[in-house]
Amino acid sequence: MTLREVLTNGKASVGGWCVVPGSFTAEVMARAGFDWICIDTQHGLIGYDQMLTMLQAVAVAGTPSVVRVPWNDPASIMKALDAGAAGVIVPMVNSAAEAAAAVGACRYPPAGYRSWGPTRAALGVADFSPELANRSVICAVMVETVPALDQLAEIVSVPGVDVVFIGPSDFAISMGFAPRSDEAEHRRRLEAVPQICRDHGVIAGIACGSAELLARWSQAGYTMLAAPSEMVLLRQAAAAMLKTVRQ
């Protein structure tokens, strides 16, 4: 299935999140059975050269991949798409104008201003064309500040926004809370997001710091659910094993 098919088939999807540079951990994560894999080049320790090999490793498993780009910047969006990412997650999108800029970088003219050069994206795709790319590429804009959430209705109304992806930690900081706090007001505001997205035909996504939070946000109506990163899962498994053997 393509990333768009995975995200629009009416079922919630669970994505794996990669912050560790290197193709092998990405391949392991893809083989674990996640519905999609995100290669995080914002907060992950992953540069362009590693991102490229990680996209190749994820493709071996037949899993669709998405890249979180470092910022809402056309150069990094277009480089990730040319390298073969099926979509991008764009951080810190705070207005409809910023969402339109992110969408434009993902689409060839006349829908946007993506420059032609799909070096790896077109590899093995006999009918690759600007129209096909514009139909298939997923543009996920991150809403993760109070001003952005206050303008959610305007952001989801921007044509070409496929996903609103919530960053709960940055949103907590923007509200004046600690990044991992679980304040009632923070939860209340994020619980309102999926309905607004649904009303505009936009997918609601969110980063989930634990399996419990993943279940919570799934119940609230989010359908693009990112699991904790492979680094977090590795650290937790190691700590749990050591706790067992040392007690």
- Report, as residue numbers or ranges, the catalytic residues: 43
Cα distances (Å, whole numbers) of residue 224 to 46, 67, 176 = 22, 14, 26
Residue from 144, 156, 162, 222 binding ligand 3PY (CB under 6 A) = 144
Strand pairing of 224-229 and 87-90? unpaired
Q: Indicate whether 205 belongs to the interface with ligand 3PY (CB under 6 A).
A: no
Q: Closest distance between ligand 3PY and the C-beta of residue 111, in Å?
A: 27
Q: Which stretch binds Mg ion (CB under 5 A): 116-124, 144-152, 195-203, 237-245?
A: 144-152
Applying CB under 6 A, does 169 fall inside the site for ligand 3PY?
yes
How far is the C-alpha of 99 from the C-alpha of 18, rounded, in Å? 24
Question: At a CB cut-off of 8 Å and minimum separation 6, what does 103 contact?
Answer: 111, 112, 139, 141, 158, 159, 160, 161
Is the Cα dihedral 36, 73, 198, 213 positive or negative?
Answer: positive
Q: Please, what is the minimum distance in Å from the beta carbon of residue 247 to ligand 3PY?
A: 33
User: Contacting ligand 3PY (CB under 6 A), which of 27, 35, 162, 170?
Assistant: 170
* DSSP run (H or E) holding 224: strand 224-229
Minimal distance, residue 167 CB to ligand 3PY, in Å: 3
**90 phi/psi in degrees, rounded to 5:** -110, 115
Query: What is the smallest separation between the CB atom of 119 and ligand 3PY, expressed in angstroms?
Result: 28
What letter does residue 227 receive in the DSSP assignment? E
Q: Quote the least distance from Cβ 64 to ligand 3PY, whole Å.
A: 18
Q: Which residue is nearest to ligand 3PY (CB)?
A: 167
207 binds ligand 3PY (CB under 6 A): yes
Q: Which run of H or of E encompasses 65? A: strand 65-68
Query: Among residues 108 and 171, whose Cβ is nearest to ligand 3PY?
Result: 171
- Give the list of residues 6+ apart from residue 239 with CB closer than 8 angstroms, or none: none
The reply to whether 44 sits near Mg ion by the rule CB under 5 A is no
Q: Which of 84, 167, 194, 228 binds Mg ion (CB under 5 A)?
A: 167
Please count the other Cβ atoms lying within 10 Å of the Cβ belonging to residue 176: 11
**Identity of the residue, 121 or 166, whose beta carbon is nearer to Mg ion in the bound complex:** 166
Is residue 230 within the footprint of ligand 3PY (CB under 6 A)?
Answer: no
Q: Which residues of this protein are in contact with ligand 3PY, per CB under 6 A?
A: 144, 167-170, 207
**Binding stretches for Mg ion (CB under 5 A):** 144, 167, 170
